[in-house]
Chain A
């Protein structure tokens, strides 16, 4: 079970209160986590990465296990603790306010 922490606005949009839990068969990468997230919650398509290019939206970043994974390749394996479900994969707004 993969745990994903979303920013508050995306939790509201997806109608979830807390962490999202996803089942992923195969390699656990940023791409596979986001694929599973968007399949489960279609409303999130386009809010984290572009509909067509699948590029990360500019003001979002990715963290896990106190590491900044924002610029890691999307197909790179996520830390084992994320794959094992002991640590969450965090989607974070890069700047506050506005």
Chain B
């Protein structure tokens, strides 16, 4: 029987939740890396037992972890103990150094700070890990301060794809309240050379040559909080999602506004429709219905919790604009949690499962595409990310 493996990153460690295809009985493993912030974990489509995790700490910085057995055991790629004194280290898996060379980095060394002055680019952490669709040793990492890195040796070494920061608008990028993070990486399953990324608060960007050159794709976005609301960059994109069968159609949860693009990001239109608030972080697409999308509205940018004390997922079966509240099994009073941008995912079982994690430590599952919900776990540390693997 098929099954699912849910990878949960929290403020204080990682958890792996597993169940068979019925999704009724869950085994909870963890905390892995206890006490560390785990911004994201994700498995390889090419080898489901190959997982990568971003482990970080304000004290000790960034560590990349890798598992080759579905999360039972972990290693720092190339970071094991050196057996022979003086031997060369096997790798530098935790080293993320911006490319500032004249040839590829231009060099680009500063971006805009909160007060409008220029500020050095400083690596802080990895927000998102996106394994290649075809090679388990190749992974993309979205980092803060915003940049895109790639490993092709299973995480032992990382190199920046400097064309993104260096394409021209980089000096005008500015951090959002959560930092200047590259948090979304989408790989086009139909075109290995096309990739989308999103940065807070710069916007969305696309490459059509496997990461060598990039261009902003923010036409149609409108952000009232920046001097020019329709500027080429400066938009606080929170999350982008696509359906594998139709990778040119993108759905975006922006700081405010839910948006849609039908031309690979060349233009966007608003599809917030009847949502109670169009602020939020997550957005995802049903595994089998490319026009069915999910968001979790959050009250506002100054009040990061669900409105009216009610935890409601909203579903649109029309690709946006017309939304219905999904409440069955979710708390409808005295609830004030947040759902962060990487904390929703779907499985691809016949009855699509939808999962999300909250700042209150709950991970909820709907095994019927959102009609009803139940918690898998209730009392984890604050959830930062949720990913799901559908296992054969």
The chain A residues found within 8 Å of chain B, CB to CB, are 7, 9-10, 13-15, 23, 39-43, 45-48, 51-52, 57, 59-60, 93-94, 98
Is B60 in contact with chain A by the CB < 8 A criterion? yes
Is B276 in contact with chain A by the CB < 8 A criterion? no
Residue from A10, A42, A46, A57 in contact with B82 in the complex, judged by beta carbons closer than 8 Å: A42
Whole-angstrom distance between the alpha carbons of A9 and B13 in the complex?
12
- Whether B94 and A43, one on each chain, are in contact in the complex, defined by CB atoms closer than 8 angstroms, is yes
Is B95 in contact with chain A by the CB < 8 A criterion? yes
Chain B nearest CB from A61 CB (Å) reads 11
Neighbouring A residues of B81 by C-beta, 8 Å? 14-15, 40-42
Q: Report, nearest first, the 7 A-B pairs whose CB atoms are least far apart.
A: A43-B79, A42-B89, A47-B60, A43-B76, A59-B59, A51-B95, A46-B94
By beta carbon, the residue of chain A nearest B90 is A42
Chain B nearest CB from A94 CB (Å) reads 8
- Whether B60 and A39, one on each chain, are in contact in the complex, defined by CB atoms closer than 8 angstroms, is no
Whole-angstrom distance between the alpha carbons of A46 and B61 in the complex?
7
Chain B interface helix/strand/loop/mixed: loop
By beta carbon, the residue of chain A nearest B97 is A52
- Whether A7 and B59, one on each chain, are in contact in the complex, defined by CB atoms closer than 8 angstroms, is yes
Whole-angstrom distance between the alpha carbons of A42 and B36 in the complex?
19
User: Which residues of chain B from 36 to 74 have a CB within 8 Å of any chain A CB?
Assistant: 36, 57-63
Neighbouring B residues of A42 by C-beta, 8 Å? 78-82, 89-92
By beta carbon, the residue of chain A nearest B94 is A46
- Whether A43 and B80, one on each chain, are in contact in the complex, defined by CB atoms closer than 8 angstroms, is yes
By beta carbon, the residue of chain B nearest A46 is B94
User: Which residues of chain B from 84 to 107 have a CB within 8 Å of any chain A CB?
Assistant: 85-86, 89-95, 97
27 residue pairs A–B, Cβ–Cβ below 8 Å: A9-B35, A9-B36, A9-B57, A9-B59, A10-B60, A13-B60, A13-B63, A14-B81, A40-B81, A42-B78, A42-B80, A42-B82, A42-B90, A43-B94, A45-B79, A45-B95, A46-B61, A46-B62, A46-B95, A47-B60, A48-B60, A51-B94, A51-B97, A52-B97, A59-B59, A60-B59, A94-B59
By beta carbon, the residue of chain B nearest A10 is B60
Whole-angstrom distance between the alpha carbons of A14 and B81 in the complex?
7
By beta carbon, the residue of chain B nearest A57 is B61
Whole-angstrom distance between the alpha carbons of A20 and B99 in the complex?
34
Residue from A7, A39, A47 in contact with B94 in the complex, judged by beta carbons closer than 8 Å: A47
Neighbouring B residues of A15 by C-beta, 8 Å? 81
Q: Output the residue of B60, B76, B92 with the most chain A CB within 10 A.
A: B60
